[in-house]
Chain A
Amino acid sequence: MARITGGVTTSHVPAIGAAMDLGKTDEDYWRPLFAGYERSKAWMAEQEPDVIVLVYNDHATAFSLEMIPTFAIGTGERYESADEGWGRRPVPVVEGHPDLAWHIAQSVIQDDFDLTIVNEMDVDHGLTVPLSLMFGQPDAWPCKVIPFAVNVVVYPPPSGRRCYDLGHAIRKAVESFPDDLNVQVWGTGGMSHQLQGERVGLINTEFDTEFLDRFASDPEALASIPHIDYVREAGSEGIELVMWLIMRGALAPDAKEVHRHYHVPASNTAVGHLILENPR
C-alpha cells in the first residue's frame, strides 16, 4: 500500500527561483536563506520519495479570472514550467502520477471535497521553487509530482479548517492506494508577506514563529485561525499559510518536526520552512 512518510512546508518566493537560475545563491543577500536548505537537500536524498503531492497556489498563470477553481488536482502526465513574463524557468519538466492523482481525486470527492480535475496546465513558481529548494538543480526531478492548486488569490480562499480537513481526506486516499509507494505531501507559500498597497512589505515574525511552533504539535489551533487574522497579522498574502494546513492534515497527528528554517527577507517575504516525519 502507499504510505505518507513525511512532508515539507516552504515559502515559494519567485525571486528565490530567479536567484538559483541566475547563479546568485552565494551573494550575501541570498546565502543565509539557502544555507537553511542544505540539510533539507540531504534529507531529501535519504528519503527518496516516489511521489510528492505538492500543494501550491497558481499566481494568475494557469488560472486567470476565466476560471477560478478553489481546489484543483493535476491528473496529467506532465507539466511544463510556465512563462510568467520572463520566459520559462530553466527547470526540468514535472512528471505527474496520473494513477495516484485520479485515485486521490475519486477518494476525496467521495469524501465531500469537490475538486476540479486538471489534465493540462503549466505550473508556475509556486510549484517549481519548492522543488528547486529541496532538490537543487538536477537534470530531471527525481520523483513524480502531483500538483494540487488552491485558490488564495480571489477572495474567499478556503478556510484553514477546510484545508486541514482536506489533508485528512488526502491521507485516507493515499493510504488506500494499492501500489507500494513512498509519498510525501508538501504545503507551500507564506509566511507573512504583503505585496500590495501602502502596507506592502509587512512582516510579522512573532506570528510566523508561533505558527511554526504550533505546526507539528497543535495544528487544531492553527486550523481555527480565520481569514481576517491572517490578513491583519500576516499580510494580505500571508493567507497562503492555509495551504500548509493541507500538508499538516495529511500527516499523522503525531508527526515530528525534524528541521526548521526561518529567514527574513526574500524580496518581500518572510521565508519559513519545516520538515515533518511520520512515525515509522
Chain B
Amino acid sequence: MAPDKPYADIPGTTIFDSDMARMGYHCNQFCMSLMKPENRERFKADEEAYLDEWPMTPEQRAGVLARDYKGLLKLGGNIYFLAKLFFTDEWSFEKAAAFQAGVPQDEYRTMMLAGGRSPDGNRYIGEQS
C-alpha cells in the first residue's frame, strides 16, 4: 500500500501509482507487446491463445477480451499501455475517450469543441458544479 494518496478523492480518475503499477504489470506488458506488428497479428488471430502467454489475473483477462477500459484502469491498466490495445482495434484516442465517458464519439467531440469538460464539480467527490 502506498503511504499517502491525496488524489484518492478526485472523481473518475485513477492515478497510476505503485499499487496500480504492481497490480497491472503483466496486463500492461501484454499491451506493450502489441507494439510489434507480428504480435498484433497473432493476437487478432486468436486472442485467447495469445493471452494464455501472459500471467494476468482472470479479471484482467476478461477485461481485455471485453475491451472494458474503465474496468481495466481499476485493475492496474494504464491508459498509455491500454492504448496499444485500442490502437490494435484501430480506435483513435478520441474514440477511446468517448467510450470511457460513455457517450457517442460525435457527442464527445462536440463537448471538446465547446471547451471540454469543466473542472467545476469534478475536483472532489461531492463537489457541486
Contact = CB atoms under 8 A, between A and B. Distances in A.
Given A199-B122, A236-B15, A15 B92 contact: yes
Majority DSSP secondary structure for residues of B touching A: helix
Interface in B80-94: 80-81, 83-84, 87-88, 92-94
Interface residues of B, number: 51
Nearest to B127: A232
Contacts of B37: 83
B128 to A, nearest CB: 15
B116 A265 contact: yes
B104 interface: no
Contacts of B118: 202-204
Interface string B14-38: 1111100100010011011011010
B112 interface: yes
Contacts of B6: 228
A207 B122 CA distance: 14
Nearest to A239: B15
A1 interface: no
B7 A231 contact: yes
Contacts of A270: 116
Given A153-B16, A196-B14, A268-B93, A65 B25 contact: yes
A196 B15 CA distance: 10
15 contacts: A60-B84, A65-B32, A65-B81, A153-B78, A155-B17, A155-B18, A196-B100, A199-B11, A199-B122, A201-B97, A201-B117, A202-B117, A203-B118, A267-B94, A270-B116
Interface of B: 6-7, 10-18, 21, 25, 28-29, 31-32, 34-35, 37, 40, 70, 73, 78-81, 83-84, 87-88, 92-94, 96-97, 100-102, 108, 111-113, 115-119, 122-124
Given A60-B78, A202-B116, 4 more contacts: A153-B80, A196-B100, A233-B123, A267-B93
Interface of A: 14-15, 59-61, 64-66, 83-86, 153-156, 192, 194-205, 207, 227-228, 231-233, 236, 264-265, 267-268, 270
